[in-house]
């Protein structure tokens, strides 16, 4: 299937590529070493109009469709996986606001991004839940004229860096299933406590420590939609498409770098560049085919996204894309390091950093086994089991 892009889409994707190569990539090493928020890179993304890519055009954004969106995220990831992942998280929050927010809320929140360049985080993971499964234990309850949040989150991406955090909460008194509601909490709100640090194998610039909420007060107009509406909308399934785009963008940059390296280097006594060796040519072909196959599924999934809003249907699309992108990205980075040898473990080369980033961010849920389970149940027509799986994840 060919995905024909119009002039506007091509121009936006080209802008993303230029930002990735000219602005993000030169900072990627420093972001990794410092394990700090890529604030300068966020500013570049905003200055080039990409921070509002999922904000509707009537509010000053680009209003990108899912296919254009994953193509932009893929380009950004070719420059810096950390920047691409955080921008993706932020952009999904914009979709929640678009779907669940009132006109009054959109008039408040969207200018914070379009005019001020702020980022919004999304915090759903919890210490007592494995891979996103289980009921949400962060509780939103009513106290007088306000709500309060109590509970613990971990993997809180952009903690201390984003302007608002979309906190996934269960409402007090409900049964603990997926009766969640989203609360957009300002970063400086009382009752938010960051716990521990963020010293990880990779994705170090996503800065995702644990956070506690202790009687954190929430205004009514910070609540998005009705209880359970976010889950019924299926918006959250698009997280998986963005993850896949990040994996493939980073792995695609590895292949480009690998190709350039083997064409310009040789080892004594062989006077020919490494590219002349069949032991390089065949693995490179395998890497290219793996990426091309995964891209086709990702692009098709993104293209089909708007044809059916059912959360189960979208969960299958996301599972297909995330599984193949994960497998392809891990294979590409692992094989590139192995083929080029021990010198690539040095930090003066980008391969070790991208390898660590991919190996870390592909751990995000759903796991490969869960992706395959989702796909298999759909293929076998086990709709009831898929519905149960949806309510447990």
H or E segment and range at residue 278: helix 278-304
What is the CATH number assigned to the segment(s) 7-119? 1.10.540.10
- Tell me the per-residue pLDDT of 294-309, one tens digit each, with 9 for 90 and over: 999 999 999 999 998 8
Round the CA-based radius of gyration of the chain to a whole number and report it: 21
The pLDDT-based confidence of 290 (bands split at 50, 70, 90) is very high
In the predicted structure, residue 18 carries a pLDDT above the cut 90:
yes
pLDDT at residue 329, as a whole number: 98
Indicate if the pLDDT at residue 337 is higher than 90: yes
**Which letter, b or e, does each residue of 69-104 get, where b requires 16 or more Cβ atoms within 10 Å of its Cβ?**
bbbbbbbbbbbbbbbbbbbbbbbbbbbbbbebbeee
The predicted pLDDT at position 145 comes to: 87
pLDDT of residue 130: 75
Give me the pLDDT at residue 336, please: 97
For the segment 32-44, the average pLDDT, to the nearest whole number, is 98
* Gap between the Cα atoms of 228 and 393, Å rounded: 14
Residue 67: pLDDT above 80?
Answer: yes
**Annotated domain spans of the chain:** 7-119, 123-230, 234-392
- Sign of the alpha-carbon torsion through 361, 366, 371, 375: negative
Query: Taking each helix axis from N to C terminus, what angle separates 7-19 and 66-77, rounded to the nearest 10 degrees?
Result: 20
Q: Is 173 exposed, middle or buried (0-12, 13-18, 19+ CB in 10 A)?
A: exposed
- Is the previous residue joined to 159 through a cis bond, with omega within 30 degrees of 0? no
| CATH number belonging to the domain at 234-392, selected among 3.30.70.1350, 1.20.140.10, 1.10.730.10, 3.40.50.300 | 1.20.140.10
Average pLDDT over residues 61-70: 97
Q: What are the DSSP calls for 208-277, one per residue?
A: --EEEEEEEEE-GGGEESSTTHHHHHTGGGHHHHHHHHHHHHHHHHHHHHHHHHHHH---TT--S-GGG-
Kindly report the number of other CB atoms within 10 A of residue 106's CB atom: 17
Given a cut of 60, whether residue 137 has pLDDT beyond it is: yes
d(CA 45, CA 34): 20
Average pLDDT over residues 10-17: 98
Please give the mean pLDDT across all residues of the chain: 94
Domains 7-119 and 123-230 share a fold: no
Q: What is the pTM of this model?
A: 0.96
384 pLDDT band, cuts 50/70/90, is confident
pLDDT at 386: 77
Residue 176's pLDDT is 54
CB 154 within 8 A of CB 126: yes
Q: Answer whether residue 252 shows pLDDT above 70.
A: yes
pLDDT at 60 exceeding the cut of 90: yes
Residue 153 has pLDDT above 90, yes or no: yes
Q: What's the pLDDT at 281? A: 98
Are 73 and 246 a contacting pair, CB within 8 Å?
A: yes
Cα-based distances in Å from 162 to 90, 185, 325, 363: 9, 10, 27, 23
Burial class (CB in 10 A: 0-12, 13-18, 19+), 228: middle
Residues 6+ apart with CB under 8 A from 28: 79, 80, 81, 82, 83, 350, 353
Mean pLDDT of 64-79: 98
> Rounded to an integer, what distance in angstroms lies between the CA atom of residue 168 and that of residue 335?
38
More confident residue, 177 or 242: 242
Exposed/middle/buried for residue 107 (C-beta within 10 Å: 0-12, 13-18, 19+): exposed
Alpha-carbon distance 279 to 2, whole Å? 32
pLDDT exceeds 70 at position 164: yes
Confidence bin at 134 (pLDDT 50/70/90):
low
What is the rounded average pLDDT of the residues 210-234?
A: 94
CA end-to-end distance (rounded Å), the chain? 32
User: Dihedral, CA atoms, 169, 210, 246, 30, nearest 10 degrees?
Assistant: 150
pLDDT at 133: 61
DSSP 124-170: ---TTSSTT-S----EEEEETTEEEEEEEE-S-TTTTTSSEEEEEEE
pLDDT at 383: 76
pLDDT of residue 190: 93
pLDDT at 353: 98
Reported as a pLDDT band with limits 50, 70 and 90, residue 29 is very high
- pLDDT above 90 covers a percentage of the chain that reads 85
Torsion angle of C-alpha atoms 359, 46, 185, 98, degrees rounded to 10: -100
Mean pLDDT for 281-292 is 98
Position 250 scores a pLDDT of 98
Q: What is the pLDDT of residues 343-383, one digit of tens each?
A: 999 999 999 999 999 999 999 999 999 999 999 999 999 97
Return the sign of the alpha-carbon dihedral for residues 153, 314, 42, 357: positive
In this structure, are residues 310 and 234 in contact, taking their beta carbons and an 8 Å threshold? yes
Say if domain 123-230 classifies as CATH 3.90.1150.10: no
């Amino acid at each position: 299937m060919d995905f024909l892009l119009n002039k506007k889409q091509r121009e936006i994707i080209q802008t993303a590529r230029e930002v990735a190569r000219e602005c993000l990539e030169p900072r990627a090493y420093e972001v990794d070493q410092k394990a700090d928020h890529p604030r300068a890179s966020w500013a570049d993304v905003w200055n080039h109009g990409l921070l509002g890519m999922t904000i509707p055009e009537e509010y000053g954004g680009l209003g990108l469709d899912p296919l254009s969106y994953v193509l932009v995220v893929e380009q950004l990831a070719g420059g810096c996986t950390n920047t691409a992942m955080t921008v993706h998280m932020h952009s999904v929050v914009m979709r929640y606001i678009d779907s669940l927010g009132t006109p009054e809320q959109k008039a408040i929140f969207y200018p914070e991004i379009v005019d001020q360049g702020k980022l919004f985080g999304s915090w759903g993971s919890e210490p007592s839940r494995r891979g996103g499964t289980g009921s949400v234990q962060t509780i939103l309850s009513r106290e007088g004229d306000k709500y309060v949040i109590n509970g613990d989150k971990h993997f809180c991406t952009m903690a201390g860096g984003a302007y608002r955090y979309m906190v996934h909460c269960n409402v007090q008194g409900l049964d603990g299933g997926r009766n969640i509601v989203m609360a957009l909490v300002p970063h400086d709100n009382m009752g938010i406590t960051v716990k521990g640090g963020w010293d990880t194998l990779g994705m170090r610039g996503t800065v995702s420590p644990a956070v506690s909420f202790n009687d954190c007060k929430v205004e009514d107009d910070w609540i998005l939609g009705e209880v359970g509406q976010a889950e019924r909308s299926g918006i959250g399934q698009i997280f998986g498409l963005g993850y896949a785009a990040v994996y493939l963008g980073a792995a695609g940059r590895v292949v480009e770098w690998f190709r350039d390296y083997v064409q310009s280097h040789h080892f004594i006594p062989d006077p020919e560049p490494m590219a002349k060796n069949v032991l390089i040519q065949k693995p490179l072909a395998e890497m290219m085919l793996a990426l091309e196959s995964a891209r086709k599924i990702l692009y098709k999934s993104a293209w089909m996204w708007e044809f059916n809003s059912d959360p189960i249907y979208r969960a299958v699309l996301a599972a297909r894309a995330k599984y193949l992108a994960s497998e392809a990205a891990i294979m590409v980075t692992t094989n590139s390091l192995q083929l080029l040898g021990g010198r690539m473990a040095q930090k003066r080369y980008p391969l070790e950093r991208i390898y660590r980033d991919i190996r870390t961010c592909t751990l995000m849920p759903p796991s490969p086994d869960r992706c395959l389970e989702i796909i298999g149940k759909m293929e076998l027509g086990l709709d009831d089991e898929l519905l149960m799986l949806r309510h447990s994840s």
